[in-house]
């Protein structure tokens, strides 16, 4: 990795001040992450390990206790239009229509634009997330999936250099989640959108991410390791489970979430762990299994 | 035929109204238990009260009398025969004007102030003791002070209306502003929306339903207080009219005034309710 990463999280620590009678709580510490341009990174960890706090600090909504985040050569000191956030609960303004919600964001990005310019720009993104025809609906008339689509369109419409997603699909039912994942994957691959997403859904991470960051349990959570996705880039939700690397990936992640995430302290003492360079692993099947049969014939056999 | 629930409710309302009027009418006609009481009445006291007491009929007017009187006022609401005999319309207009002026002043001051209190925790804490002490004071307790300093009874009653409307609006505005959902503010922050635009386009619409509730409570209280305030300062207004008619011992006129106070109060509330509907939103 010779190029400069677009995001560089350096030695981040977050400590919440003690409430009456308690002690200070350090949620995570020694967190070093770097994200390259165009990369899709997922962060996986149990609740309570400070995932959302980490994302909020990255978004500029929260402050770190120690360490810093450098985005495109500048330190993060507050929120910025270059870092769009898709919130877990869509966070639409209920008194605005779907269109107005997106236009609100576009107007913030380009205040000098005319009404027509804004309309044209918004329409492009409304079409992109397949909401054409629902522009004038208010939140109550939109289904859960549609609301999140508006949230996605709002984030994409300001053309951020980085998209931050905080478990964006966790409140949706499985079918809606699946189709939205496909769309996000599609859009992000097409536009080479740098994305950082928090999730605790393993399949979601395998489908979307190029790089999966494993975070141990809090308090004192750390980056355990970085898993590089060994599945081919053109994977899709329908056939990725047929790839020989799918189960090695999945098993590795489950093993982490079930066992290793809480026993990491022991693991740490017995190895040469460097928080600046967490180990990178590439779980895959035996090389022989990948060659024979190749992924494409697997795909065809399934059909 | 099955009538819609709305129609059925209307029919039931009309039935209740008719039954009430009928009972009222019958109770006045027969004098009810008053007849027995009349027999036991001290003759000297009966003489003092005039013949009507002796006959046992109630001194309360019946619905027909009140209706007639109401019709008289409705057909000629704006006559002016000197300070003690003005039309009901004129008196109500005086009261309404005072309420609307006082209420509008309260809105103009309480909404921006509530905004500041809601946005700043420091200001909220600093002003809280003052608000807590001032809020429970009966607005009428301010009246002597107002009369002493302002030296004008009309302006004083406007001031009393102002002071009683200000608290509910202030409390609701600051509460509404303080409880705007964190995530909406975060959306505005990530979009780098300026403070003023956030206040106008995010916080105000988010808090508007709560502010409107405060305004509805305030106008209700204001309409209650204006009657008492006008009884106190006299001169004009529906409160003065009621007190004047009490001095005339015209129960019929008082009943007419009571009915019209109720109707105007309902209208005020309906106006604000429809205004509230325009800013309401569902989540």
- The pLDDT, as a whole number, for residue A188 is 87
Q: Considering chain B, what is the average pLDDT of its residues?
A: 88
pLDDT band at B47 (very low <50, low <70, confident <90, very high): low
B189 and A80: CB-CB below 8 Å?
no
pLDDT band at A258 (very low <50, low <70, confident <90, very high): confident
Number of Cβ within a 10 Å radius of residue A285: 15
pLDDT in tens, B65-101: 899 988 888 888 888 888 778 888 999 999 999 999 9
Scanning every residue of chain B, which has its alpha carbon at the shortest distance from the alpha carbon of A158?
A: B191
- The pLDDT, as a whole number, for residue B112 is 95
A91 and B282: CB-CB below 8 Å?
no
pTM: 0.82
The 3-state DSSP class for residue B234 equals coil
* Chain A CB within 8 Å of residue B278 CB: no
pLDDT band at A98 (very low <50, low <70, confident <90, very high): very high
Q: Is the pLDDT of residue A302 over 70?
A: no
CB A125, CB A102: distance < 8 Å: yes
What is the nearest CA distance from A228 to chain B, expressed in angstroms? Answer: 30
- The pLDDT, as a whole number, for residue B57 is 47
pLDDT band at B44 (very low <50, low <70, confident <90, very high): low
pLDDT band at A223 (very low <50, low <70, confident <90, very high): confident
Strand partners, A227: A212, A281
Three-class SS of B159-207 = HHHHHHHHHHHHHHHHHHHHCCCHHHHHHHHHCCCCHHHHHHHHHHHHH
CA distance A140 to A142: 6
Q: Is the pLDDT of residue B191 over 90?
A: yes
- The pLDDT, as a whole number, for residue B58 is 54
Scanning every residue of chain B, which has its alpha carbon at the shortest distance from the alpha carbon of A160?
A: B191
What is the distance of C-alpha A124 from the center of its chain?
A: 23
pLDDT band at A299 (very low <50, low <70, confident <90, very high): very low
- The pLDDT, as a whole number, for residue A191 is 86
Range with lowest mean pLDDT among A194-208, A262-276, B32-46, B226-240: B32-46
Alpha helices in chain B (DSSP H): 5-30, 34-40, 43-49, 51-55, 63-75, 88-119, 121-134, 143-150, 153-178, 182-190, 195-198, 204-233, 238-247, 251-279
Mean pLDDT of A149-155: 92
pLDDT band at A122 (very low <50, low <70, confident <90, very high): very high
pLDDT band at A3 (very low <50, low <70, confident <90, very high): low
**Contacting residues of B for A89, CB less than 8 Å apart:** 183
> Which ipTM did the prediction report?
0.84
pLDDT band at A194 (very low <50, low <70, confident <90, very high): very high
B190 and A89: CB-CB below 8 Å?
no
Report B:178-237 residues touching A (Cβ under 8 A): 181, 183-184, 186-187, 189-193, 197, 201-202, 205-206, 208
**Contacting residues of A for B208, CB less than 8 Å apart:** 95
pLDDT in tens, B101-155: 999 999 999 999 999 999 999 999 999 999 999 999 999 999 999 999 998 888 9
Strand partners, A41: A196, A211
Report A:129-188 residues touching B (Cβ under 8 A): 138-140, 158
- The pLDDT, as a whole number, for residue B133 is 95
Q: Is the pLDDT of residue A244 over 90?
A: no
Range with lowest mean pLDDT among A268-272, B17-21, B69-73, B108-112: A268-272
């Amino acid at each position: 990795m010779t190029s400069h990463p677009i995001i560089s999280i350096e030695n981040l620590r977050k400590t919440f001040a003690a409430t009456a009678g308690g002690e200070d709580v350090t949620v995570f510490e020694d967190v070093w992450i770097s994200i390259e341009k165009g990369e899709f990174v997922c962060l996986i960890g149990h609740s309570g390990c400070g995932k959302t706090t980490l994302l909020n600090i990255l978004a500029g909504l929260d402050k770190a206790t120690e360490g810093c985040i450098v985005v495109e050569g500048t330190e993060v000191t507050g929120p910025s239009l270059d870092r769009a956030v898709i919130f877990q609960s869509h966070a639409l303004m209920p008194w605005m229509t779907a269109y107005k919600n997106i236009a609100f964001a576009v107007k913030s990005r380009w205040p000098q634009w005319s009404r027509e310019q804004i309309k044209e720009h918004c329409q492009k993104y409304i079409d992109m997330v397949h909401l054409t025809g629902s522009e004038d609906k208010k939140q109550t008339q939109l289904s859960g999936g549609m609301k999140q689509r508006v949230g996605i369109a709002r984030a994409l419409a300001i053309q951020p250099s980085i998209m931050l997603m905080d478990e964006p699909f966790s409140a949706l039912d499985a079918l809606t989640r699946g189709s939205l994942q496909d769309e996000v994957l599609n859009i992000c691959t097409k536009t080479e959108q740098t994305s950082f997403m928090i999730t605790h859904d393993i399949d979601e991470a395998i489908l979307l991410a190029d790089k999966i960051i494993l975070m141990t349990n809090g308090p004192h959570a750390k980056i355990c390791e970085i898993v590089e996705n060994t599945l081919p880039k053109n994977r899709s939700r329908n056939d990725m489970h047929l790839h020989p690397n799918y189960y090695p990936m999945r098993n590795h992640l489950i093993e982490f979430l079930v066992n290793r995430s809480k026993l990491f302290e022991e693991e740490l003492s017995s190895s040469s762990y460097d928080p600046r360079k967490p180990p990178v692993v590439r779980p895959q099947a035996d090389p022989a299994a990948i060659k024979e049969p190749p992924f494409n014939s697997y795909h065809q056999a399934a059909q | 035929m099955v009538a819609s629930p709305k129609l059925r409710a209307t029919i039931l309302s009309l039935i209740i109204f008719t039954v009430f009027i009928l009972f009222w009418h019958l109770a006045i006609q027969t004098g009810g238990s008053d007849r027995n009481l009349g027999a036991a009445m001290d003759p000297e006291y009966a003489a003092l009260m005039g013949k009507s007491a002796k006959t046992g009929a109630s001194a309360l007017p019946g619905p027909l009398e009140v209706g007639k009187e109401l019709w008289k006022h409705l057909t000629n609401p704006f006559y002016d025969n000197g300070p003690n005999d003005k039309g009901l319309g004129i008196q109500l207009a005086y009261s309404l004007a005072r309420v609307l002026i006082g209420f509008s002043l309260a809105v103009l001051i309480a909404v921006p102030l509530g905004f500041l209190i809601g946005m700043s925790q420091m200001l909220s804490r600093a002003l809280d003791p003052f608000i807590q002490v001032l809020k429970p004071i009966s607005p009428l307790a301010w009246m002597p002070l107002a009369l002493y300093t302002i030296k004008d009874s009309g302006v004083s009653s406007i001031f009393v209306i102002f002071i009683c409307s200000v608290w509910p609006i202030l409390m609701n505005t600051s509460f509404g502003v303080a409880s705007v959902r964190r995530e909406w503010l975060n959306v505005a922050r990530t979009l780098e929306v300026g403070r003023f635009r956030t206040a106008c386009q995010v916080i105000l619409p988010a808090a508007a339903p709560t502010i409107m509730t405060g305004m509805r409570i305030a106008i209700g209280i204001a309409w209650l207080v204006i009657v008492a305030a006008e009884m106190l300062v006299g001169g004009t207004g529906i409160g003065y009219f009621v007190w004047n008619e009490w001095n005339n011992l015209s129960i019929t006129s008082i009943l007419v005034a009571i009915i019209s106070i109720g109707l105007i109060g309902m209208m005020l509330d309906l106006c604000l309710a429809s205004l509230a509907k325009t800013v309401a939103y569902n989540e």
